[in-house]
Amino acid sequence: MKGIQTLENLEYANIYLRATSENIVFLFCDLQEKLRGRIPNYDNICQISAFYLEFAKLLNIPFFINIIYPERNGELVKEIDNLLTNEEKKELISVKTSNSMLYDQNCIDFLNKHFERKKVVVFGIETFACIRQTIEDLIRLEKGYEIYLPMDAVGAQKEIEHQSTILQLQNLVNFTTFATLVLEIVGKNLSLEYMQKNPIQFKIHDVLYKERKLFWSQKQKPKL
């Protein structure tokens, strides 16, 4: 009988069908400036979303950005806007008029362009409305999408609406966080040996470290 292979002999991305930089896309929903002060923990949500975008750009993961009613909700938040080139702002930011991102033809065109990528991460505001309806419509398409919901990069004005939606979505999505998703995608490639051979991995490690520093800066120091 053939023995169990060591992990070194297995294709890492195929273990439990992990997300990879080749099979995933990012959708950013309604992260807009005038929502500051209205969404609990909004500065954190925007900063973590920016870390996700920075990570996506390092690994050439396709991403798309929607905003809604900019005259009321403001333009794209500065944390994300500052990471975009002028060309990306023209091509990848679209104004939608419905809650679901999938009612924006530009978003549909984006998904069709990357039809072979079946893992979708949905970020943004608000959990009970635009995020939920986008997720439900992705499922309704019946295109085999597997959806990730980053718990550190979604939110709503009312905590009860946010939490109740999370409970309702628990059988429809994979809950994740920045560090969890980064480690799922890059896996063992963050080892020191691999990073020494690949400068991009050092940059990914730096983004991950920035996210950790944000967490540490907000964590109450233990009493000695």
Q: Is residue 68 in a domain?
A: yes
Least confident of 104-113, 139-148, 180-189: 180-189
Q: Within 10 A of 189 (CB to CB), how many other CB atoms are there?
A: 16
The per-residue pLDDT for range 65-80, each reduced to its tens digit, is: 999 999 999 999 999 9
Compute the distance between CA of residue 29 and CA of residue 138 in angstroms, rounded to an integer.
Answer: 14
The per-residue pLDDT for range 202-224, each reduced to its tens digit, is: 677 778 778 878 877 876 544 43
Is 13 a residue whose pLDDT tops 50? no
Q: How many domains does the chain have?
A: 1
Q: Is residue 14 in a domain?
A: no
Q: Which domain holds residue 121?
A: 19-186
How many residues are listed for the chain in this entry? 224
The CATH number for 150's domain is: 3.40.50.850
Contacts of 210 (CB under 8 A, 6+ apart): 51
Q: Do residues 52 and 62 touch, judged by C-beta distance below 8 A?
A: no
Q: Do residues 74 and 32 touch, judged by C-beta distance below 8 A?
A: yes
| pLDDT at residue 18, as a whole number | 86
Q: Is residue 198 in a domain?
A: no
The per-residue pLDDT for range 101-114, each reduced to its tens digit, is: 999 999 999 999 99
| pLDDT at residue 41, as a whole number | 94
Contacts of 177 (CB under 8 A, 6+ apart): 150, 151, 152
Q: Is residue 205 in a domain?
A: no
